[in-house]
Structure 1
Amino acid sequence: MTTPSAPPYPVHWEADIVLRDGGIAHVRPITPHDAQRLVSFYEKVSDESKYYRFFAPYPRLSDRDVHRFTHHDYNDRVGLAATIGGEFIATVRYDRTEGSQAEVAFLVQDAHQGRGVASALMEHIAAVARERGIRRFIAEVLPANRKMIKVFTDVGYTQERSFTDGVVRLEFDLEPTDASVAVMRAREQRAEARSVKRLLAPRSVAVIGAGRRPGGVGRTLLHNLTAAGFTGAVYAVNRSFPEKQAVLDGVPAHRSLAAIVEPVDLAVIAVPPENVPAAVAECGEHGVRTLLVITSDYAESGPEGRERQRELVRQARSYGMRVVGPNAFGILNTAPEVRLNASLSPELPAAGRLGLFTQSGAIGIALLTGLHRRGAGLSSFVSAGNRADVSGNDILQYWHDDPATDAALMYLETIGNPRKFTRLARRTAAVKPVVVVKGARHSGAVPPGHTVPPTRIPDSTVSALFRQAGIIRVGTVTELIDVGLLLSSQPLPIGGRVAILGNSESLGLLAYDACLTAGLDPVAPLDLTTSATPTDFRTALTGALDDRACDAVVVTAIPRVGSESLPGPESGDDPALAAALCDAVGEAAGGSAAKPVAVVHLALDRMAGRLGTTGSRIPAYPAAERAVRALAEAVAYTRWRRDAAKPGKVPEFDDVEHAAAAAEVTRLLHGAPGRVVTLEEPAAAALLARYGIAVRQSLPAPDAGAALEAAGRLGYPVALKTTAPHLRHRADLGGVRLDIADEDDLKRAYEELTARLGKPGELQLVVQAMARRGVDTVVRATVDPAAGAVLSFGLAGAPSELLGDIAHRLVPVTDRDATELVRSIRGAPLLFGWRGSEPVDTGALEELLLRVSLLVDDLPEVVAVGLEPVVVAQRGLTVLGATVRLAQPPARTDLGPRALSSF
C-alpha cells in the first residue's frame, strides 16, 4: 500500500497586492504547515463574522476543520490566504461541486475589513479557478452580511441572484468581462495611487543612518528634510546615539526605531547594505508604511547585489511596506501642507504644476537644475533608482487624478511592464499630458540594476506604440523640459496656425521656418522693429490673442534699442518687457482669447526666470527651433486627445469562424515539438480563411512538368516564384517571374531560375495565378512577451525596410486605428494616387488589417502572422503569400488578478 504524495505547491499563485488604503499584503496558497496560523487567525475574528461565515455560532475550529481548511489538492479544493508579516488576515476557498462549478467562501479578520482584502482575494481565487477548469462560482450569504454581498455583486462578472430558505444565493460566471476588467483596473488605480500618496505625504519621517558627523548621506538627508520645512515630525535614528534621547539638527535622535513612541509613516534608509535587513525588520515591527532606500550596492553591482535586492523587496512586502529604490536619489513634494524633501537635493524646488519621475539620480539633478533656472516649479518628484518596487507605473496611477499635477514628465531607461505602462499612460494622457524621454533605447544597453522582461520590439516600434497611447516622446532631457513647461503653463492649442511677432526680423524668419519644418501653419511674421517698446509688444500680443485666424503665438525678443538689456553689466534682462507680455497673457487667460504663448529670446537670459515665476507663467526658449518643437508637440497632443474621445470600434465580421479556428489551432499545436509550429501554405491559408482572409492559391512545381500542369489548372497568365526561406525576402536576387503568358514562357522561366539560383528542391518553386496590378504592401502581426500583440503595415520592398517606413498599432485595432495605420507611413501617397496614378482600394486594405487584428486577438496561440506581398488594386486586394506561427501564448498579466510585479 502506498501513501498518495502531496500535490505540488503552486508557487505561481503567490502574489503581492496593494490594498485599498495603499498597504501591501501577500496572497499565497494555504498549506498543511499553516494549521497554527489558521487557528490564530480564527481566534481574532469576531463572533459576528464567524456567524456570517458558517451561518451558526462557531466559536472555534475543530481539529477536523483545521485539517480540512489546510489540506488541499489545489484542483477541486483550493484555499488562499492574505498575509501581513507572515500572519493570516483573510482567507478564501472554493470547493468544486460538479464539473466546472464550485462554491466559494471568504473570511476577513475584522481589523482588516474595509481595506479591499476580500475584493483582491476574489480576483485571485477566480483566476485560480479558471486555471483549473472552473467556469462558475456559487456563493451563499446571509442577507445581513451586506459587505460580502457587495464584494460579489461589485466584481463585474455576469451573475444571477436568488433568495431561498433565508439565504441569498449568488451565481456568476468567471470569464472576464469588460465590466469586471474595468472594476479590477479602477480598484488597482485607487490602491496604487494611495500607496504613492502614503509615500509622498507622510505625517512623520525617520532617517535611519543619520550620523553625528556632518557630510554623511544620512546627515545630509536629515538636513534637507528640516531645511525644507517639512510639516510633519522628523526623527534621526542611529545606533551610535546615546541610550537617552538626544537631539540632532533640532530633531529627536534615537538609537532605534523602537525608541520612538509615535508612529512613523516613512523611513529613509541610509546605512551600509549589510545593515539594511536589520533596519527593514525594525521598520516592519514598528509599523512603518513606506521605505525610501538610498543605500546602493544592490542589483547595479552584479548577481549578488541582485539577490540582495530581491530579498530587500521580499522582506519589506512581507511587512506590508512599499519600497522606493534601492540606490535612489530621493522624493520631493512641494505642497505647502507637506514640504517634503527626502532627497539629496539641497533645496526644495518651488511649487509648480509639473510631476517628475526619473530612474536616474544624475538625470534627476539635471532636470531639477534646468527647471529651477527657467523659473519652473514641481508638484512632486520621484527618483526611483533601481525601482525594485515602486515604479513609473505607480507614479502614473497617482498623477492621474492628482489635482496638483497638470503634466507628467518621465525619464525612463527601462519599462518593466510595457503593456501596463501604455495602458496607464493612455488613460492619464486623456486628462493631462505625459512626456517621456527614453534612455538606453538600443538592445543590450539596459542599465545595471534594472531587471526587465525580454522584448524583441525595436525602438521605432516603441515610439509608434507611445504615439498610439498619447505619450509625447521626446529625444533629450532638454526637450523634456521644453515641452513640459509649455504644456503645464499654457492652454492647449486648438490647431496649428501660429502667429509670430517680435522685434527681430531675422529671429521671426527663423521661427517661421521652424514652424514649416514642424508641420505647423505659420502666419507671416510681424516685425515690430528693434525700437519696439514693451507697450508695442503688449499691443501686438493682445491683437494676436484676439485674432481668430491663429491658434498659438510665438513672441521673439532681442534687447531693444536704448534699453539696459543691451550688452553691459546689467545685460540679459528686460523686466518691463516681461511684465508687458505677462499682462497681455493674463488678460486673455480663461477667456475665448486664451492661446498658448511661447517666447524666444536672444541675449535676454534672465527673461526665462522672470516669465516662469509670474502668475502667467510664460515658457521662454533661447532658440526658435526649441519653442516651435514644443508647440508642435502640443498641437499633436491636442489632436490625439480630440481623436481619443472618439476611439472607434473593433468591428465584428459575420463570416468569422472562431470556434473552428480555435479547434484547428489546438489540433495543429498538439504533439508539435516544443509546442511551436510554423504553418506554411496551404495550412496557413486554411486557418486565415476561417477569418475571411483569402490567400491566392499556389501549386508546387518540383520540376518543369509539374509547373506546366499547375499552370494549366490555374490558367494563364501565371507567376513562377521561389518560396525557400533563404530567398523569401531577397527580391534583389530575382526569384520571381511575372506575367508568364504560355507554356514556352513558363519553360524558359523555369530553366532561368534553376540555372541561376539552384536546384528546384532548394528553391521550393511554386506556380500562382497572376493578381491584378496594384501597390505591393506587407501586413504583419507579432506577439511580444512584454508589450503584447502588435500589428504592422508598410509597403513591400527594400526601400521601406531600409528607411523603417513601417507603422505599428497595438492589438486589438479599431476601425479608426486601421485608417490611421494606412495613412501614417511616409509612402502612403502611393496608395492615394501619387503623381496621377489611380488610387487603390484602401477600404479593402483596412478591412484586411482589422481581420488580422481580430485573428491575433481571438487566438492567443497565433504569435506571428506574415502576409507578403498584399497587392492592393483599384478594386480589392490579393494576398499572395502567408505564414503563420503558433506557440503557447505568453501569460496575459493585464487580464489576470491585480498583483505587484515580481522581483
Structure 2
Amino acid sequence: MARIILRDGRVADLREARPTETDREMLRELFRNASPDALYHRFFHMVKEVDDAEIDRMLSAGGRGKALVCVSQNQILGIGHYIMVSDTTAEVAFFVDERIQGRGLGTLLLEHLAEQAWRRGVLQFEAYVLSENQPMLRVFQDSGYEIHEQQDSGVIHLVLPLQQTERIHALAGAREKLATAASLRAFFEPSVVAIIGASRDSHRLGHLLLQHVLNASFTGVVYPVNPSARAILGVKAYPSVKDIPDPVDLAVIVVPRDLVSQVVMDCIEAHVRAVLITSAGFSDQDEAGAELEQSITQMLRHEGIRLVGPNSLGIINTSNEVRMNASFSPTLPPQGTVAIASQSGALGIAILDYASRMGVGVSSFVSTGNKADVSSNDLLQYWEDDPATEMILLYLESFGNPRKFTRIARRITQHKPILVVKSARSADAVLSPEMASQHFGDDNIVKALFQQTGIIRADTLQELFDVAALLSSMPLPAGKRVQVIANASGAAVITVDALKAGGMHLAHPPIDLGFTALAPRYYDEVHAALKDPHVDAIIVLFIPVGISEAAGVSAAIRDAVMDVGLVKPIVANFLMTGPGPIDYIRGESFRIPVYPFPELAVRALVQVSHYAAYRRQPLGHLPDLDRVHMTQARALARAWQTNAPIWIGSQKTFELLALAGLESSLSSFDRQSAILKLSLSCHIDSLFGPVLTVRTATSQMAHSRLIPLTDRDAMALAHGIVKEDNVKILADVVEKLTDLFLRVSRLIDDVPEIMELTIPHVMVNHYEHAIEDANTCLEPRAM
C-alpha cells in the first residue's frame, strides 16, 4: 500500500485491487456514479450497468497482470490495470471518478503501474483511447513517456516504452512536489487552530501550548478544547473539536496516549484538515505503542488527513501573515529565511534557542517526532518553493526513503542550501526502540548521498549554525582563493594550516598588520582585497590590544565593505575573552559573522566553499551512451534467472558487460601500461537501493556512490580515485574511469534483476580499461 497525494493536496491510499466483496461493491458504486459518456469512453459502447463479470475481470486484471485502486473514505476514486498481451507488452486502462478528474490521479495510476510492470519485465504499455476522450489522452501525454500513436476509425492506439528516463522522473517529481506542498498548507498557514487538551493548570503542557499560540499574536482563530473548562486564558473553550463552530484547519492534540484514538476519531468527524500529535508513548516507547501509532495513522490516512508526529513538539511559522507558535518553544523565534526540521523534539527546541542566540532568523520550524506520516522528504518539498525560505536545516536520526530524499535534495541544492546534522552513525548510538527498529546503513553510503546531492553535512550543532550564519549573511565565494589579514602571526599560521587542510588556497601571503594604526590599516587591506580579482574570500583575524581597538577595527572593516560593496564573503575572528556565540559586524544592508576562534571561521568557510563549487558545476544528468543495448541485456538476465538467487559466472557476466559497452579487451591490453588498478562492486542496499563501491589496489579505501550515477557523479568519483592513488590527474584517465562508472551504473539501473555485480580486477591506462574477471548474482525469478 502506498500513500499518494492528489494535485489539490488530498491524500489517498493506492493499493492492489482485491477480488473481495468490499472492493466489488466500491467499484460498483464508482460506476453507478459515472455518466453515460464516461462509461462509453471506458468501454467503447453504451453501458447501463457494468456487470459483475467485468468487475471481477478488472479487479484481477484478467489473471494476467496487475490492478491498482485508489481508495479514500471507503470509496474507490479510480482503478487502473494492465493485462499482458505478450511476454514484454501489456495493455493498460484506467477509470477515474469524474468528480476528481483533473487532480492527477490518472497520471499517478499510470506512474505506479508502469513502475511495477517494468520491474516484472514489461518493456512497453499499449492503450486504446477514443479520440474524443481528451482527458485520458492528456494523462498519457503528461506522463513523460515517449508515445507512439496511430489513429484508426476514431480510436487512437498508443504505445509507451517503459524505459525510465530523466524526463519521466523530473515530471513525476514536479507533480509530487506541488501535491505535497498543497497537502501541508494546513500545517503552515492555518486560519483556525484547535488545541485539544488545553488546560487551566499552568503547569500542564496543554496550557503552555495554548499560551504560546496566544503570545505569538497568531493571526488566525484559536479554540481551546477541554470538556471541563468554560474558558482557558480568557478564550472560550469547547468540550469537543466537533463542537467548534468553524471548520478547523489544524488540530493540535495534547492528551495522554490512551485518549489519542478517541480524539482522532473526533477530528475525523469534524473534518479537520491536518493533525499534530504531541503525545509520546507510541513507537518511541514500545511495541504496543507502535501498533497504536499505526492504527491512528491508518485512521487519518483513510480520511485523507495528514499527520505530524506523534511525539512532536510542534510547528512554528514566523510569517507576519501567520505568526503561529504551536510548539513548546517559549517564544516565537526572530523572523528570517531559515527553515528547520528536527526529528528530536527536545533537541529541536534547543536548536531554536541556539538559532536566536546566534542571530539566525527562522521562517518555519517542524518537530517531526516519530514521522508516522509527514517526513523530512515532505517538508523539503514544501520548502523547495516557499518564498520565505532560503536555507533548510535538518537534524536527522534516520532515513525513511533515502532514494526519494536524494532526488528531492538534488533539485533543491541548486538554488537553496540544505544543511544536515545526521546522528546515529552506528547502531551503538541508538537509544530508543523506534530508532533501534530501523536500518541506519553504512555511513560511507550516507556520506556518498550527501556528496552527490550537494548537501552540507555538519558533525555538530555548533558547526551547523557556524555555516548557517555565513550562508545567511554572505554571498557564495567564486573560488577557493582566500586572503588572510591579521595582526598576529600565530593566529595567521593556525588559519593557513586549517585552510590548506580544507582544500583552500592562499590568494597572496597572509598580511600581518602588527599593532599600530590598526583601524586604518584594516580598512586599507580589506578594501584592497574586496577589489582584488584574484581573491575569492577574506578572513580577518584580530587580537585586541585595548578595549577601544575592537570597536575601531570593526568600524573600519564595515566602512571598507560599505565603500566597495559586499562582492565576496568575509569572515572574521576576534579573539576576545573566551568562547561564545557568533557576533556580527553590522552594516546597513549586511552583517559579517565574527567567530570566537579562527578554526571555526575557517571550517565554516570551507564548507560554504565546497557547496559553492557544487553549485558552479553544471547540473548532472544521465548521459546517452553509445554501444548500450539494455533491452537485450535484460532479456538475457531474465532468461538466466532461476527460482533462487544464482551466480552466473564470468562468461555470462562478460556478455552483460559487453551489452553495456564494456568489452574485456584483456588479451590486447598491455599490463605494463596500467596506470591504475581497481576493483568495483555493486549491491542492493536494503535502505539506499543500488550502490557502487570502488577500491584502488593500493589503498583499498572504499568510495561509494548511489546508483544511478549522473555524469557529474561519475566524474567526481573518477577524480577522487585518481587523486587518492597519487596518479597525476590526466584528463584521459579520468575520462576512461568516468565512462567505466557510467556504464556499470547504467547496467545495474536498467537491469533490476541484478542483485550483485563484482569486478575484482580492472586495469586502466591512457587509452582503455581492461576487465580481468567478473561475476553477477541474479535475483530469483518472479513467481
Q: What is the alpha-carbon distance in structure 1 between the residues aligned to residue 754 and residue 66 of structure 2?
A: 32
Q: Does 1:140 align with 2:134?
A: no
Give the equivalent residue in structure 1 for 2:197: 209
Deviation of 1:550 after TM superposition, in Å, equals: 0.7
Q: What is the alpha-carbon distance in structure 2 between the residues aligned to residue 628 and residue 414 of structure 1?
A: 29
Q: Does 1:83 align with 2:71?
A: yes
Deviation of 1:825 after TM superposition, in Å, equals: 3.7
Residue deviations 1:177-220 (CA, integer Å, cap 9, x gap): 43333222210111112223332121221111111211211111
Q: What is the alpha-carbon distance in structure 1 between the residues aligned to residue 580 and residue 426 of structure 2?
A: 38
Q: What is the alpha-carbon distance in structure 2 between the residues aligned to residue 183 and residue 610 of structure 1?
A: 43
Q: Does 1:518 align with 2:476?
A: no
Candidates 167, 186, 194, aligned match of 2:182 = 194
Give the equivalent residue in structure 2 for 1:603: 576
Matching residue's letter, 1:795: T
Residue deviations 1:26-81 (CA, integer Å, cap 9, x gap): 223264324544455556556776676678887x7476589568764563587644
1:670-681 alignment, distance < 5 Å: 670-671=642-643, 675-681=644-650
Contact 1:357 1:409 in 2 (8 A): yes
Candidates 612, 619, 622, aligned match of 2:596 = 622
Residue deviations 1:301-336 (CA, integer Å, cap 9, x gap): 122111112112111111111111111121111111
SS at match of 1:27: strand
Deviation of 1:412 after TM superposition, in Å, equals: 1.0
Q: What is the alpha-carbon distance in structure 2 between the residues aligned to residue 640 and residue 97 of structure 1?
A: 47
Q: Does 1:867 align with 2:759?
A: yes
Give the equivalent residue in structure 1 for 2:748: 856
Q: Does 1:779 align with 2:752?
A: no
Q: Does 1:883 align with 2:778?
A: no
SS at match of 2:198: coil
Give the equivalent residue in structure 2 for 1:350: 334
Q: What is the alpha-carbon distance in structure 2 between the residues aligned to residue 61 and residue 648 of structure 1?
A: 49
Q: What is the alpha-carbon distance in structure 1 between the residues aligned to residue 629 and residue 400 of structure 2?
A: 36
Candidates 236, 246, 250, aligned match of 1:266 = 250
Q: What is the alpha-carbon distance in structure 1 between the residues aligned to residue 596 and residue 262 of structure 2?
A: 51
Deviation of 1:857 after TM superposition, in Å, equals: 2.6
Matching residue's letter, 2:255: V
Q: What is the alpha-carbon distance in structure 2 between the residues aligned to residue 299 and residue 545 of structure 1?
A: 54
Q: What is the alpha-carbon distance in structure 2 between the residues aligned to residue 394 and residue 55 of structure 1?
A: 40
1:285-684 alignment, distance < 5 Å: 285-443=269-427, 445-448=429-432, 450=434, 457-522=441-506, 523-530=508-515, 537-559=522-544, 561=546, 563=548, 574=551, 578=554, 581-582=557-558, 584-585=560-561, 588-589=564-565, 594-603=567-576, 608-611=582-585, 615-645=589-619, 647=620, 650-654=623-627, 656=628, 658=630, 661-671=633-643, 675-684=644-653
Contact 1:822 1:828 in 2 (8 A): no
CA 1:866/1:276 → structure 2, altered by over 3 Å: closer, same or farther? same
Q: What is the alpha-carbon distance in structure 2 between the residues aligned to residue 879 and residue 269 of structure 1?
A: 61
Q: What is the alpha-carbon distance in structure 2 between the residues aligned to residue 325 and residue 548 of structure 1?
A: 51
Candidates 21, 28, 34, aligned match of 1:32 = 21
Candidates 184, 204, 224, aligned match of 2:212 = 224
1:742-821 alignment, distance < 5 Å: 775-797=676-698, 800-801=699-700, 805-821=701-717
Q: What is the alpha-carbon distance in structure 1 between the residues aligned to residue 27 and residue 33 of structure 2?
A: 10
Residue deviations 1:700-752 (CA, integer Å, cap 9, x gap): xxxxxxxxxxxxxx99xxxxxxxxxxxxxxxxxxxxxxxxxxxxxxxxxxxxx
Contact 1:649 1:816 in 2 (8 A): no
Q: What is the alpha-carbon distance in structure 2 between the residues aligned to residue 34 and residue 231 of structure 1?
A: 45
Q: What is the alpha-carbon distance in structure 2 between the residues aligned to residue 353 and residue 195 of structure 1?
A: 22
Give the equivalent residue in structure 1 for 2:718: 822
Matching residue's letter, 1:597: I
Stretches of structure 2 that go unaligned for 5 or more consecutive residues are none
CA 1:255/1:188 → structure 2, altered by over 3 Å: closer, same or farther? same
Deviation of 1:154 after TM superposition, in Å, equals: 1.6
Q: What is the alpha-carbon distance in structure 2 between the residues aligned to residue 98 and residue 662 of structure 1?
A: 16
Stretches of structure 1 that go unaligned for 5 or more consecutive residues are 1-13, 566-573, 698-713, 716-767, 892-903
SS at match of 1:390: coil
Q: What is the alpha-carbon distance in structure 1 between the residues aligned to residue 758 and residue 473 of structure 2?
A: 46
Q: What is the alpha-carbon distance in structure 2 between the residues aligned to residue 557 and residue 160 of structure 1?
A: 69
CA 1:459/1:95 → structure 2, altered by over 3 Å: closer, same or farther? closer
Deviation of 1:94 after TM superposition, in Å, equals: 6.1
CA 1:643/1:386 → structure 2, altered by over 3 Å: closer, same or farther? same
Q: What is the alpha-carbon distance in structure 2 between the residues aligned to residue 854 and residue 467 of structure 1?
A: 20
Matching residue's letter, 1:329: L
CA 1:184/1:877 → structure 2, altered by over 3 Å: closer, same or farther? closer
Contact 2:6 2:105 in 1 (8 A): yes
Percent identity between the two aligned chains: 35
Deviates more, 1:149-158 or 1:352-361: 149-158
CA 1:225/1:826 → structure 2, altered by over 3 Å: closer, same or farther? farther
Residue deviations 1:603-662 (CA, integer Å, cap 9, x gap): 2788945547974132221111111111111111111122233x36535242x5645543
Deviation of 1:122 after TM superposition, in Å, equals: 3.3
SS at match of 1:885: strand
Deviation of 1:137 after TM superposition, in Å, equals: 3.7
CA 1:152/1:666 → structure 2, altered by over 3 Å: closer, same or farther? closer
Q: Does 1:151 align with 2:139?
A: yes
Matching residue's letter, 1:230: F
Deviation of 1:348 after TM superposition, in Å, equals: 0.9
Q: Does 1:17 align with 2:4?
A: yes
Matching residue's letter, 1:294: T
CA 1:882/1:228 → structure 2, altered by over 3 Å: closer, same or farther? same
RMSD of equivalent CA atoms: 3.7
Residue deviations 1:535-555 (CA, integer Å, cap 9, x gap): 654454333222222111122
SS at match of 1:882: strand
Q: What is the alpha-carbon distance in structure 2 between the residues aligned to residue 454 and residue 795 of structure 1?
A: 32
The alignment's TM-score, normalised by the length of structure 2, stands at 0.89
Deviates more, 1:197-206 or 1:318-327: 197-206
> How many correspondences in the alignment?
776
Q: What is the alpha-carbon distance in structure 1 between the residues aligned to residue 479 and residue 174 of structure 2?
A: 33
Give the equivalent residue in structure 2 for 1:763: none
Q: What is the alpha-carbon distance in structure 1 between the residues aligned to residue 695 and residue 781 of structure 2?
A: 26
Matching residue's letter, 1:291: V
Contact 1:454 1:786 in 2 (8 A): no
CA 1:248/1:424 → structure 2, altered by over 3 Å: closer, same or farther? same
CA 1:39/1:677 → structure 2, altered by over 3 Å: closer, same or farther? closer
Contact 1:270 1:293 in 2 (8 A): yes
CA 1:691/1:137 → structure 2, altered by over 3 Å: closer, same or farther? closer
SS at match of 2:158: strand
Q: Does 1:108 align with 2:97?
A: yes
CA 1:71/1:456 → structure 2, altered by over 3 Å: closer, same or farther? closer
Contact 2:542 2:573 in 1 (8 A): yes
CA 1:453/1:562 → structure 2, altered by over 3 Å: closer, same or farther? closer
Deviates more, 1:289-298 or 1:546-555: 546-555
CA 1:616/1:45 → structure 2, altered by over 3 Å: closer, same or farther? farther
CA 1:272/1:503 → structure 2, altered by over 3 Å: closer, same or farther? same
Q: What is the alpha-carbon distance in structure 2 between the residues aligned to residue 90 and residue 223 of structure 1?
A: 44
SS at match of 1:191: helix
CA 1:561/1:773 → structure 2, altered by over 3 Å: closer, same or farther? closer
Residue deviations 1:408-463 (CA, integer Å, cap 9, x gap): 11111111111111121111111111111110001454453546997685212321
